[in-house]
Amino acid sequence: MTTQDIIKPENLVYAKPSIMNDNTMHYCPGCSHGVVHKLVAEVIEEMGIVDKTIGISPVGCAVFAYNYIDIDWQEAAHGRAPAMATAIKRLLPDHCVFTYQGDGDLAAIGTAETIHACNRGENIAIIFINNAIYGMTGGQMAPTTLEGMKTSTCPYGRDVTLNGYHLPIGNLVAQLEGTRYVTRQSVHTAAAVRKAKAAIKKAFENTLAPEKKGASFVEIVSTCNSGWKMSPKDANDWMVENMFKAYPIGDLKNI
């Protein structure tokens, strides 16, 4: 049997989700953002909620997320996505409303919005891409940057005496009464991607279950191979070795 005999529509077992359109994504080759976009699109498509899902895109590399997944979107000012999601979800309570945010957006300029939206128990999903760096603006240190990790603004490594410690904001929001599901996942292997997809699905389902209130927070420990100045493969290996120690994978809360 030749390759041509196998490549037929009836034998198709995997393809890009159809609501992920054909626009070329602007992300660097190998960037985790692309994988997570694909998962968000797959989950929305499989749940049959294309017409009742609203995404809030951030400021950061994912600023153009709305160009790639064909659902309704609203762009937020830097860090304000959870506040905007709060308003939209309260006005349209039967919709699945989610934010998609980087660590600079969610855990630096938007720390207050993140914590208060979670603490108010808003019925929203937060997809958090933690690559420990400001990717978009050229790889500056973020609150999430690891101790000793080199960035363009700490070229000798993050010095705790000067800059303090990496901020495990997932653990912080897990402490709050207002969160019902907090998990930390990654997308560096096929098995990890499958788990991350299940987590995103659970978070989206939670937003549509009004009998129980609370925010769902899915952190994806990610790579920014450009900002880290590594090949995509080396960035994944570096993440497993270093990021997973500071940000261990698994559920932090599930009620």
Partner 1 sequence: MAKIKGAVEVNTNRCKGCELCVVACPAKVLGMSKQVNAKGYNYACMVNPDACIGCASCGIVCPDGCISVYKVKIEN
Site string for partner 1, 167-196 (x = CB under 8 A): --------------------xxxx--xx--
Residue 66 contacts residue 55 (beta carbons within 8 Å): yes
226, interface contact from Mg ion, partner 1, ligand SF4, none, CB < 5-8 Å by kind? ligand SF4
Residue among 72, 89, 131, 236 that touches partner 1 (CB under 8 A): 236
Residue 120 neighbours by CB under 8 Å, 6+ apart? 86, 178
Q: Is 130 helix (H, G, I), strand (E, B) or coil?
A: strand
Which string of x and - marks every residue 13-52 that binds ligand SF4 (by CB under 6 A)?
A: --------------xx--x-x-------------------
Q: Which is nearer to partner 1, 25 or 85 (CB)?
A: 25
CA distance 243 to 192: 15
> CB–CB of 223/187 below 8 Å?
no
Q: Rule CB under 6 A: say whether 104 interacts with ligand SF4.
A: no
Contacts of 196 (CB under 8 A, 6+ apart): 36, 39, 185, 186, 187, 218, 220
**Binding partner at 28 among ligand SF4, ligand TPP, Mg ion, none, C-beta below 5 to 8 Å by kind:** ligand SF4
Half-sphere exposure of 231 (CA within 13 A, CB side): 2
What residues contact 27, with CB distance under 8 A and at least 6 apart? 33, 34, 61
DSSP state of 17: -
Q: Which does 161 bind (CB under 5 to 8 A by kind): Mg ion, ligand SF4, partner 1, none?
A: none
Q: Which residue has the tokens 């993050």?
A: 158
Interface with ligand SF4 includes 101 (CB under 6 A)? no
Rounded to whole angstroms, the Cα distance separating 195 from 250 reads 10
Q: How far is the CB of 217 from ligand TPP (least distance, A)?
A: 15
30 is a site residue for partner 1 (CB under 8 A):
yes
List interacting residues with partner 1 (CB under 8 A).
Answer: 1, 3, 5-8, 11-17, 20, 22, 24-25, 27-35, 38, 187-190, 193-194, 231-233, 236
List interacting residues with Mg ion (CB under 5 A).
Answer: 102-103, 131, 135
